[in-house]
Amino acid sequence: MNLHDRIYVAGHKGLVGSAILRALEAQGYNNLICRTRSELDLRDRGQVSRFFEQNAIDYVFLAAAKVGGIAANNDYPADFIRDNLLIQTNVIDAAYRANVTKLMFLGSTCIYPKLAPQPLKEEYLLSGDLEPTNKPYAIAKIAGINMCQSYNRQHGTSFISVMPTNMYGPNDNFDLQTSHVLPALLRKFHEAKELGAPTVEVWGSGTPKREFLHADDLAEACIFLMKHYEDSEIVNVGVGEDISIKELAEMIKTIVGYEGEIVFNASIPDGTPRKLVDVSKINGLGWQAQISLETGLRSVYEAFQKEYLIKQ
């Protein structure tokens, strides 16, 4: 991947896509191609085909997807499976037809079986039942991975798939109805502090354990793999250590400076009990995460406060 190659970042406004775009710019790549949702609807096959025909793309980072937390997945299951199947099918097929040099598909570790052994190894995919709360999303993502592998086998393409763990960072979604746990907690604790609320409710029991990877670390990993990885088999991207939701809530409480109490609502489903990825494969290739959770949280909270103040 040369500095002048035409690189398309699909989903460049989102958490992952924007981080990949920043990292590419920082490394000197100067022929970056992006389109907003209003400019290019990736669910529309005709629009996607014309875009690839007209732009002579060399490399694709497919970070565009419909994503959300437990509440969003539970409330809009049809939207999650439909939109993700359409987006990835259109982009992967158009990339093949346009003779793109290489494509990277962004999966997610939440598509591993609910009760898979920990830490999660790449070979555990499809080895058991999925977590019911995000099954439509998981099925769509699994289809995308298999599609990349199938195109490689039948058409000789170079399409690779990565499996990031739970993400956080700049440009995250802080909507309490659709966000993931970390940004939701940041907003909850911030607003409770501002309002002087005596308690903050945290969904679930607090016992599930999660791993959190800063989007800037993922972006570096994606560029590294685009340059150095050619295999059809998936690659986990994570930090290799996890934390309970209770511990996360307490860390965020400290960073925000909230002085009230934390109340856990055990009537809300916890989801997968634990989700820690085995990162020995990517570490063996020569990459490992650099940003600690506390450092990353502090930087994200600083950015959130600025954005929050702007919207007030």
Please, which residues have CB within 8 angstroms of residue 290's CB and are 6 or more apart in sequence? 217, 220
CB 267 within 8 A of CB 201: no
Q: How far is CA 149 from CA 54, 144, 215, 256, in A?
A: 26, 9, 25, 44
Please, which residues have CB within 8 angstroms of residue 24's CB and are 6 or more apart in sequence? 7, 9, 32, 219, 223
Q: How far apart are CA 59 and CA 61, in angstroms?
A: 7
Q: How far apart are CA 123 and CA 198, in angstroms?
A: 46
- Copy the structure tokens of residue 151: 């195109």
- Copy the structure tokens of residue 10: 């699909």
Concerning whether 137 is annotated as a catalytic residue, the answer is yes
Q: What burial letters (b/e) apply to 253-278, b meaning 16+ CB within 10 Å?
A: bebbebeeebebeeeeeebbebbbbb
CB 12 within 8 A of CB 34: yes
Q: Which residues are annotated as a binding site for substrate?
A: 188, 203, 210, 270
Please tell me whether residue 154 adopts helix, strand or coil conformation: helix
CB 249 within 8 A of CB 186: no
- DSSP H or E segment with residue 200: strand 199-203
Q: Using a CB cutoff of 8 Å and minimum separation of 24, what contacts does 124-130 make?
A: 125/234
Active-site choice (137, 151, 229, 301): 137
Q: Which residues are annotated as a binding site?
A: 11-17, 106-109, 141, 180, 188, 203, 210, 270
The β-bridge partners of 201 are: 263
Q: Which residues are catalytic?
A: 137
